[in-house]
Amino acid sequence: MEHLLIPEGAKEERYQALLPQVEALLEGEADMIARMANMAAALHEAFHFWWTGFYRVVGDELVLGPFQGPIACTRIRRGRGVCGTAWERQETQVVPDVEQFPGHIACSSASRSEIVVPVFADGRVVAVLDIDSEHLATFDDTDRRWLERMAERIVLRQAKRQSRAHNSSTSESAEPSA
């Protein structure tokens, strides 16, 4: 696949068209960073967001992963900013106005609204998908639902099984080798 085919129109239809194309893009690729890279690029191209990317959980911090858009902060502590909050609470954060979010980390002053979706493996957050918009209130429940489905595609089912098997024989595993 060389180009995405995304219809003009409501975001519901756009996500609906995008999801199977992203699944096709990811098919056969087991490396989690490669999967994140193409998903970030596809979302960014389809919706023309300001910033679209991933932070991975590495030890007690989030570390910048594959992204599209302007340069960004490289490390975020648990509970800090929108990303660290999504990680700590293990739930999607939809922020209509970043200036109203206590502790928001302004990687770019152009960012006005934001959504951060956790990526789970075996019930634990292993990364977050962070999307920023230069407009207020860009994200709503439609984005939350579809982006949560997207984020579920980052960790392979097979990797989840391997990780479960690994976790039952060892105490901790920071991240599955998706």
The answer to the question of residue 83 lying near ligand SME (CB under 6 A) is yes
Q: Is 132 in the site for ligand SME (CB under 6 A)?
A: yes
According to DSSP, the residues that pair with 94 across neighbouring strands are 115
Structure token pair of residue 123: 């019930």
Nearest distance from C-beta of residue 26 to ligand SME, angstroms: 22
Q: How far is the CB of 118 from ligand SME (least distance, A)?
A: 12
- Rule CB under 6 A: say whether 143 interacts with ligand SME: no
142-172 burial: b if 16+ Cβ within 10 Å, else e: ebbebbbebbebbbbeebbeebeeeeeeeee
- Which stretches within the chain are classed as H helix? 11-26, 32-47, 81-89, 141-152, 157-169
Among 4, 72, 122, 162, binds ligand SME (CB under 6 A): 72
Residue entry with tokens 């939350």: 144
Strand partners, 115: 94, 131
Q: Which of 22-30, 31-39, 100-108, 150-158 is the region at the interface with ligand SME (rule: CB under 6 A)?
A: 100-108
Of 63 and 105, the one with the shorter C-beta distance to ligand SME is 105
Q: Does 110 bind ligand SME (CB under 6 A)?
A: no
User: What strands lie across the sheet with 93-95, from one edge to the other?
Assistant: 75-77, 61-68, 51-58, 124-133, 113-121, 93-95
Q: Which is nearer to ligand SME, 68 or 167 (CB)?
A: 68
Which residues, 6+ apart, have CB-to-CB distance to 73 below 8 Å? 64, 105, 107
131 lies in the binding site for ligand SME (CB under 6 A): no
Q: How far is the CB of 2 from ligand SME (least distance, A)?
A: 28
Task: Pick the stretch among 26-34, 73-81, 151-159, 169-177 that binds ligand SME (CB under 6 A).
Answer: 73-81
Residues that bind ligand SME (CB under 6 A): 51, 72-73, 76, 81-83, 104-105, 107, 111, 114, 130, 132
